[in-house]
Amino acid sequence: MSTVTVEHVARIEGHGTITVEMESGVVSDVRIDVVEAARFFESLVVGRRFDEVSLITSRICGICSPNHALTSLKAIEAALDVEVSERTVLLRKLLVYGSYLQNHATHLYVFAAPDFVGLPSVFPLAQSHPDIVERALRVKKTGNELTTLVGGRPVHPVTAVVGGFTAEPSASDLVAMRMRLESLVADTVATADLFSSFEVPDFATSGEMVALAAADDYAIYDGDAAALQAGWSRPASEYRDYITEAVVGHSNAKHSTVDGRTFMVGSLPRINLSSAQLMPRAAEVLSALGLAVPSLNTFHNNVCQAIELVDATERCVAYIDELLEAGGSSAPAPFAVRAGFGAAATEAPRGTLYHAYGIDDAGMVVRGDIITPTAQNLGNLEADMRAFAPTIAGLPREEFVLAMEKLVRAYDPCLSCAVH
């Protein structure tokens, strides 16, 4: 029996090891060991006060920190029965899209692109394809600036608190950001063109696809959870009723199932479920690329991230227009501290993110529960690896490893989030 092991898979967030066991050309076992150390965030919030939770959970991730902060704020607000203003929601959505620009630019260009041009990292890519790397940096930089504009800094937002914001961007800064976003559209379209030009294997996942969805919005901040194949839609706050988490021996991250099946979350499931809600330009790009949706090909997650970049730029321009025209206040809504329980979800760049908290009557957290996108994806990723490995078992070792790594990277896993 021969074993192929890739320790500490490169160009993903966090540490994981791929192991493929083969017997005379037949694949007998495939797994991804998440060796990233356990972090116990669900217990770290216990005993801390409700208004410290978003500061703590934000530190789960350096990329999707706004999503962890906002999802915990939404859950705490549900527990305390706090209603936030429409203006607060608009600003929060901008914050989420800031992390989309940051995450998708980093994943596509720094983590994924080197695979498709046959380079070990982004640094030689900067030598051979400076235009591509400069474009990547423009997208990432705009993401940093958008997150900073609303949150006060590129990661771990300062201004987002229970009930609203402690400070708001000025109208002139919003106008400047609007211009920046408009000038970024060409870069995002070029990103979609580039990633659709990369050839991907013909492959279909056997798992379910789940994302937040809404009738009238591309749901990233609100919406019900929807399952593509089973066709159900359920309130995201009831996630414990439809997602089952289990500890598996080879991973410090738990695995999840819905209806007894592994499932995928992220850009591909979002576009599969909400392609009708894309902004006009993004819808145009989707149809021009000829990507048939719904698609069950996991490898399409990359190009869907690129389409979301197009959507995000156009959508944020619209949000900024709304903020500039509409009045209202994002100052924290008043509330009284009381005992309660609240659960909430948002769509982080890598997929649906769930948080839930129990609070006592002094406002101290007594229970915390978090399910990250990658924790949901890991079971499905492993199932995909198991199905995909035999189809490429004949390849020379190096090519086999690269193909397997491409599949892992297509999920854009964040193992640091997964072991939260």
Partner 1 sequence: MYWQLTSSGHLPDEYDVAVIEGAATTGEHIETLRKVRETAAVVIALGTCAVTGGIPALAGTLDYDARYGVVYGDGIAVARGRQVPVPVTSVIAVDYQVPGCPIDPAEFVKVLSRALMGLKDAIPVDPMCAICKTEENICFLDQGKACLGLVTRTGCGAKCVSLSRPCTGCRGLSPEANLPAARRVYADKGLDPAELDRLFDLYNAAREVVL
- Asked if 166 is part of the footprint of partner 1 (rule: CB under 8 A), the reply reads yes
- Asked if 47 is part of the footprint of partner 1 (rule: CB under 8 A), the reply reads yes
- Asked if 10 is part of the footprint of partner 1 (rule: CB under 8 A), the reply reads yes
Which residue in the set 161, 190, 333, 392 belongs to the binding site for partner 1 (CB under 8 A)? 161
Q: How far apart are CA 306 and CA 166, in angstroms?
A: 32
Candidate segments 149-157, 203-211, 260-268, 336-344, binder of partner 1 by CB under 8 A: 149-157
Site mask for partner 1 (CB under 8 A), range 167-206, x = bound: x---------------------------------------
Helices (H), 280-339: 280-289, 301-325
Q: How far apart are CA 23 and CA 1, in angstroms?
A: 5
- Asked if 122 is part of the footprint of partner 1 (rule: CB under 8 A), the reply reads yes
Joined tokens for residue 212: 């937040």
Nearest C-alpha neighbor of 3 from the set 30, 42, 38, 41? 30
Which residue in the set 67, 102, 251, 374 belongs to the binding site for partner 1 (CB under 8 A)? 251
Which residue in the set 22, 42, 101, 227 belongs to the binding site for partner 1 (CB under 8 A)? 42
> Residue 240 in contact with residue 277, Cβ under 8 Å?
no
Instruction: Count residues binding partner 1 (CB under 8 A).
Output: 42
Longest dimension (CA), the chain: 69
Q: At what angle do helices 86-105 and 65-80 cross, to 10 degrees?
A: 150
Q: How far apart are CA 336 and CA 354, in angstroms?
A: 24
Question: Cβ of residue 166: shortest distance to partner 1, in angstroms?
Answer: 4
Question: Cβ of residue 40: shortest distance to partner 1, in angstroms?
Answer: 4
Residue 348 phi, psi dihedral angles, 5° rounding: -75, 165
Which residue in the set 17, 19, 21, 59 belongs to the binding site for partner 1 (CB under 8 A)? 59
Candidate segments 92-100, 202-210, 249-257, 291-299, binder of partner 1 by CB under 8 A: 249-257
Stretch 13-32 residues interacting with partner 1 (CB under 8 A): 13
Which residue in the set 17, 21, 52, 335 belongs to the binding site for partner 1 (CB under 8 A)? 52
Tally the residues of the chain. Answer: 420
DSSP secondary structure letters along 325-344: H-----SPPP-----EEEEE
Question: Cβ of residue 94: shortest distance to partner 1, in angstroms?
Answer: 16
Say which residues have a Cβ less than 8 Å from residue 327's Cβ, sequence separation at least 6. none
Question: Cβ of residue 368: shortest distance to partner 1, in angstroms?
Answer: 9
Q: How far apart are CA 244 and CA 184, in angstroms?
A: 40
Site mask for partner 1 (CB under 8 A), range 386-405, x = bound: --------------------
Residue 89 phi, psi dihedral angles, 5° rounding: -60, -45
Q: How far apart are CA 110 and CA 139, in angstroms?
A: 12
From residue 20, give the alpha-carbon distance in Å to each of 4, 6, 17, 214, 386.
5, 9, 10, 40, 9
Rg (CA), the chain: 21
Measured from the CB atom, is 151 or 351 closer to partner 1?
Answer: 151
- Asked if 159 is part of the footprint of partner 1 (rule: CB under 8 A), the reply reads yes
Measured from the CB atom, is 155 or 181 closer to partner 1?
Answer: 155
> Residue 8 in contact with residue 27, Cβ under 8 Å?
no
- Asked if 120 is part of the footprint of partner 1 (rule: CB under 8 A), the reply reads yes
Measured from the CB atom, is 228 or 365 closer to partner 1?
Answer: 365
Handedness of CA 234, 237, 241, 247 (dihedral sign): positive
Report the 10 Å Cβ neighbour count for 81: 11
Stretch 257-286 residues interacting with partner 1 (CB under 8 A): none
Measured from the CB atom, is 110 or 219 closer to partner 1?
Answer: 110
Measured from the CB atom, is 156 or 315 closer to partner 1?
Answer: 156
Residue 234 phi, psi dihedral angles, 5° rounding: -140, 150
Which residue in the set 89, 158, 176, 393 belongs to the binding site for partner 1 (CB under 8 A)? 158
Say which residues have a Cβ less than 8 Å from residue 334's Cβ, sequence separation at least 6. 163
Q: How far apart are CA 416 and CA 411, in angstroms?
A: 14
Candidate segments 42-50, 84-92, 130-138, 381-389, binder of partner 1 by CB under 8 A: 42-50
- Asked if 146 is part of the footprint of partner 1 (rule: CB under 8 A), the reply reads no
- Asked if 43 is part of the footprint of partner 1 (rule: CB under 8 A), the reply reads yes
- Asked if 152 is part of the footprint of partner 1 (rule: CB under 8 A), the reply reads yes
Q: Which residues bind partner 1 (CB under 8 A)?
A: 8, 10-11, 13, 37-40, 42-44, 46-48, 52, 55-56, 59, 62, 110-111, 114, 120-123, 152-156, 158-159, 161, 166-167, 247-249, 251-252, 254
